[in-house]
Amino acid sequence: MSDLPKIPRHVAIIMDGNGRWANQRGLPRLRGHEEGAESVRAVIRACREVGVHYLTLYAFSVENWVRPRMEIRGLMRLLRKFLQEREHELHENRVRLRVIGRVHDLPLPVQHGLSRVTKATASYDSGQLILALSYGGRAELAHAVRAIARDVEAGRLAPDAIDERTIGAHLYAPDIPDPDLLIRTSGEMRLSNFLLWQIAYTELYVTNVLWPDFREPEFAKAMEAYSHRHRRFGDTKDRDTIPEVKHAGR
C-alpha cells in the first residue's frame, strides 16, 4: 500500500502513443503495441500495489476500426495473447476482468476469450480490470438511451422519472464508480470519445510520456499528482463526492 494521503479508487487510462514510440525507433507500429502491452502489465501491478481498486483501460475505440486491417489484426492478436498469458495473474490476485464497449464487433475468438475470462473471474473482489474495447462514449450513451426508450415504451418507466441515475444505471457497467483520475499519455489534450458521462468530475492527468514508456515510475508520478488535487465538486471546500442536486425532470 502507498503512503500517499489520497489514492484514487478508480483510474482510467487513455493508453496513447504506441505508434509514435515505434516510429521514433524506426520500428513497425505493432512493436509499439507490443511494448505497450508490457506497460499494461506494469500498471496493473502498480495499481494492486498502491490499492487502486478499479482500473479502466482504453484499449480500442469504435473509431479505431478505420485503421489499416493489418494493425487491427495485430492488436486483436495481442489482446488474445494478453488474455492467455495474464489470466493466471487475475486468478492469483483475485482480480475481476470486465469489458465495456461494443463487444459483438470484435472477432469471435476474441469475444470467446473475453467471455471465458470474465466469467471465470466474475466472483473476485480484490480489484477490477475493465477493458474498453470497441468502446465509444457516444455509442455507450446511445445504447443507454435505447434501453431507456424500451422501458418507457413498455410502460415500465415514466419519461418524467428519468434522471441522471436512470442514465447511469443503463451504462455498460453501471455499478462501477466514476473514475477519480483519468490519465492520458503522449500529450494529446483530448478525450477521444472516452467515458464521456463518467468523467464529469474526474481529475485529469496528461503526460507527454508515450504509453510504452509509462511504467511504475510514471504511474507513481500520476499518483503523487492526484494526491495533491483538491476536489470540490462545485462546493467551496474539498469534498468526496458529487453532491446530490435536486432538480426537476425537465
C-alpha distances (whole Å) from 133 to each of 8, 150, 179, 194 are: 23, 25, 17, 11
Q: Which is nearer to Mg ion, 16 or 203 (CB)?
A: 16
Q: How far is the CB of 2 from ligand IPE (least distance, A)?
A: 26
In angstroms, what is the minimal distance from the CB of 121 to ligand IPE? 22
- Report how far residue 222's alpha carbon sits from residue 39's, in angstroms, rounded to the nearest whole number: 14
Closest CA to 90 of 73, 58, 114, 110: 114
| Shortest separation between residue 118's beta carbon and Mg ion, angstroms | 26
Output the CA torsion sign for 111, 117, 120, 122: negative
Please identify, using beta-carbon distances, which residue of 211 and 226 lies nearer to ligand IPE.
211
- The smaller minimum CB distance to ligand IPE, of residues 67 and 229, is found at 67
Separation between Cα atoms, residue 58 and residue 41, nearest integer Å = 14
**Can you tell me which of 16, 35, 180, 203 binds Mg ion, judged by CB under 5 A?**
16
Residue 16 annotated in active site? yes
Q: Is residue 64 among the annotated active site residues?
A: yes
In the block, residue with C-alpha cell 489514492: 7
Active-site residue, selected from the candidate residues 3, 18, 23, 64: 64
User: Hey, how many other C-beta atoms are within 10 angstroms of the C-beta on 100?
Assistant: 20
Which residue, 22 or 148, has its beta carbon nearer to ligand IPE? 22
Interface with Mg ion, residue 180, by CB under 5 A: no
Nearer to ligand IPE, 7 or 194 (CB): 194
Q: Smallest distance from the beta carbon of 67 to ligand IPE, in angstroms?
A: 8
- d(Cα 71, Cα 79) in Å, to the nearest integer? 12
Residue 93 binding result from ligand IPE, Mg ion, none, given CB thresholds of 5 to 8 Å by partner type: none
Pairing of strands 181-184, 203-206: parallel
| Partner from Mg ion, ligand IPE, none binding residue 18, C-beta < 5-8 Å depending on class | ligand IPE
Which partner, Mg ion, ligand IPE, none, binds residue 2 by CB below 5 to 8 Å per kind?
none
Nearest to 111 by CA among 95, 131, 90: 131
Q: Which does 166 bind (CB under 5 to 8 A by kind): ligand IPE, Mg ion, none?
A: none
Closest residue to bound Mg ion by CB? 16
Sign of CA dihedral 145, 147, 153, 157: negative
Nearest-5° angle of CA 85, CA 114, CA 164?
A: 130
- Provide the binding-site residues for ligand IPE, judged by CB under 6 A: 14-20, 58-61, 64, 75, 186, 188, 190, 192, 211
Contacts with Mg ion, residue ranges (CB under 5 A): 16
Q: Which residues are catalytic?
A: 16, 64
